Chains A and B, each alone.
Chain A
Amino acid sequence: MAGPLLRIRDLHLTMTSFDGAAHVLNGIDLTVQRGEIWGLVGESGCGKSLTGLSISRLVPTPPARYIRGEIRFEGRDLLQLPMREVQTLRGKRIGMIFQDPTTNLNPAYRIGEQLVDVALAAASHDASVLDCPADASRREKRRAARRLAGDMLDRVGIPNAKARLDNYPHEFSGGMRQRVLIAMALIGRPDLLIADEPTTALDVSVQAQILKLLKGTVADHDIGIILITHNLGVVAETCSHVAVMYAGNIVESGPVEEVIERPAHPYTQALMAAIPTKQSKRGTLKGLGGSVPNLVSPPPGCRFAPRCPLAVAECTQALPSAVEVGTAHHAACIRVTGTEVASDV
């Protein structure tokens, strides 16, 4: 079998801010194969976006500093590659949907022009992106690119899509702008797609349509996706795998069924209890007690220990390593029994 599409190992990242260096990624391990959709979940500020941005090498250094670890894309360590090569990979092979739609659309250009540019750039690497012969004239290519742009806008659920290609970003609603970014990322035909909260501003029906589109893209083009979200419902319906992050660590990971049916880590269990259900009475929703730790001087040992209902003195001694608690299902908690994972898995 070919090597994995993406393999992150022991990634440590610090961010220098006003009051010191915050250890925001504290040994991330994550492997993504083609055909897999990985959900990356966890509380606000736990490092999901920084993990995604690291893969695209879009975290500014400084203030960021990579302390150790590697991010291998088809075997090549992105942290070691010259920036020029990373940039070509980013345009061509690694696609990104940003959490922040407004700043990533150029307000001065029409929606259609921005999509056409992406389609033409993608077609220069892979002619099959456009539905026209490779030796077509520029004019024909442009026309094909515009057709593709209209189709893609339609597939992300923009009503009357073709007539709206000439709108500017500010003439679209919040959710529509978010969908323009999704269309843009899919037109680029990446091998690895990092989607950071792609459906947060969308209602359930549009969300369902987008998630189906993402799943369809994985099936049709055998790509890998990392879907960053805080919505466990979305993960349950879309992802094949899930990794749960807490304060810069992945505390639990595995096939989605496994993790959701049998959450092993106390943090994952607490997260699931915080979702409002039909029975929730007003004002009684269980948030997690306490708050996310300060990452400049994080608590010793397991970073979740100060908030953990099961914590014992031993928890503060060392960062727990991942143990196998089910098939390919890992949890990093000393209160969970399982088999020790060899460190070179």
Chain B
Amino acid sequence: MSEPILQIENVSKTYGARRTLFGRTAEVQALKDVTIAVHKGESFGLVGESGSGKTTLTRSILHLETPSAGRILFEGQDLARLSPADLRRLRARVQIVFQDPYASLNPRMSVRDIVTEPMLVHHDILGLSRTQRTDRAAELLSLVGLGPQHLSRYPHEFSGGQRQRICIARALASGPELLLLDEPTSALDVSVQAQVLNLLCELQDRLGLTYVFISHDLAVVRYLCNRVALIYRGELVEEGATDAIFDAPKSAYARMLIGAMPEARVRREVS
């Protein structure tokens, strides 16, 4: 296997309790001693129930959150030790699609501005002219199933799923190598989801991207990822090749998740 692009070593994160009028809020241990290695060019799935610490982990990878213990390495370099300039360069190479497409789009920015912003921020690396940026934005929009006619629109004019696609276009704008996808398709209908999943596969094959794909939809994870880690209440409970986990789950949690998959009558092939 190729060398790891991302190493998460013994990472823990605790949110402290606070004193309030009615007593104290609970202390939350969002991550407990998590160790994961993600290799170049793979799709790594991170599955866990709501509140199990998945977003906390991605925020830590982006250095938006400081772990209480442990370290995170990108290509062997400890994030906590990078200079601000290096950290900035790193951010062009690691991009995220956030879980909440509503909160993450600035309502006052047009779609053009939203999608071209990362190209501006990383102008020193990308060096695109204004027209090149607009062209690239239009190209990215068609890639995600929207079009150049949407460039001058604002986020409120789009439905939930359309906004999520704008977020994906924005994440691809700086030409990242590692993409953190926090539930990127849960707001999408099956047809757009199929388009986006196929798009992600295609981009990966073409550009050699690495994905950390967070989802609670096991069918989607199975479709896209070659390896999976399951986290439960902040702890890593099982990790391995996707097929192995689905065919012979070892932990009780994995068996429960697989058992609860809404297999359902819809799964019958319709010709």
Contacts and interface: CB of A to CB of B under 8 A. Distances in A.
Contacts of A233: 262-264, 266
A61 interface: no
Contacts, number: 183
Contact of A232 (B183, B222, B257, B266): B266
Interface in B104-162: 145, 149, 152-153, 157-162
A135 interface: no
Interface in B31-87: 47-51, 55
Interface of A: 17-19, 41-45, 49, 99-103, 110, 112, 157-160, 163-167, 171-176, 179, 197, 200-208, 230-234, 236-237, 260-261, 263, 269-278, 280, 282-288, 291, 294
Interface stretch (B1-9, B18-26, B173-181): B18-26
Contacts of A19: 149
B21 to A, nearest CB: 8
Given A102-B102, A274-B191, A287-B192, A204 B153 contact: no
Nearest to A112: B22
B11 to A, nearest CB: 17
Contact of B50 (A99, A164, A176, A286): A176
Interface centre among A160, A173, A197 (most CB of B within 10 A): A173
B191 A287 contact: yes
A102 to B, nearest CB: 4
Given A166-B25, A205-B49, A276-B219, A287 B20 contact: no
Nearest to A270: B191
A46 B149 CA distance: 18
Contacts of A205: 49, 256-257, 260
B237 interface: no
B189 A42 contact: yes
B261 to A, nearest CB: 6
The 10 closest A-B pairs by CB, nearest first: A44-B161, A175-B50, A203-B216, A230-B189, A233-B262, A287-B194, A163-B26, A285-B194, A166-B20, A283-B201
Nearest to B260: A204
B157 to A, nearest CB: 6
B188 interface: yes
A43 B187 CA distance: 11
B264 A237 contact: yes
Nearest to B98: A174
B100 interface: yes
Given A102-B100, A164-B25, A287-B198, A260 B265 contact: yes
B20 to A, nearest CB: 4
B221 to A, nearest CB: 10
Contact of B160 (A49, A179, A202, A237): A49
